[in-house]
Structure 1
């Protein structure tokens, strides 16, 4: 796996509400919201516990039947999108 180990924390101005099998995340600063499906919801939950991309990847790889390459691509895209939406802070 070539996923860079990056520290990630949920931004203080992010509020989450469960909705069906996923979640809706509201950025209180911009008043924009972002929807996550069931796997995205699990990713968000894991950020609270693990706080780095490598640990989250390892848990998701154990929980879902997906190739490591596909999971890596999906996680990197999600991190990029959540960071652009200012819902997470990556260091």
Structure 2
């Protein structure tokens, strides 16, 4: 389960390409790709570049006019889906990225 206190990390087997505000994520292990619209791309950008998901949530709150609880649910569901598809890892804020072999 994704929690706001966690940190989002892009696994080494995931490639992302952005074009016109949208993104395509490619899982090299499963050879599956996923498209993100502009909102999904923004959530991805903030979640993967902030020290924890809570900071990304706060920035998204400033950018979008949406109730905090609705945003929290959408963000955690979105990130959970990415985790389930091997496109994202969530770690406690004090743990480094998983080592690559």
Q: Tell me the TM-score range normalised by the shorter chain.
A: 0.7 to 0.9
Q: Which consecutive residues of structure 1, in runs of 5 or more, have no partner in the other structure?
A: none
Assess, with a 3 A threshold, how the Cα gap between structure 1 residues 87 and 77 changes in structure 2: closer, same or farther: same
Q: Distance in 1 between matches of 2:4 and 2:55?
A: 11
3-state SS of paired residue (1:34): strand
3-state SS of paired residue (1:86): coil
Residues 9 and 51 in structure 1, CA contact (< 8 A), matched pair in contact too: no
Q: Distance in 2 between matches of 1:57 and 1:76?
A: 10
Query: What is the total number of aligned residue pairs between the two structures?
Result: 89
Q: Which moved more, 1:49-58 or 1:60-69?
A: 49-58
Assess, with a 3 A threshold, how the Cα gap between structure 1 residues 47 and 4 changes in structure 2: closer, same or farther: closer
Q: Distance in 1 between matches of 2:90 and 2:45?
A: 16
- Relative to total residues, which structure has the larger helix share, 1 or 2? 1
Q: Distance in 2 between matches of 1:31 and 1:45?
A: 22
3-state SS of paired residue (1:66): coil
Matches within 5 A, 1:6-85: 6-85=6-85
* Misfit runs of 4+, over 4 Å: none
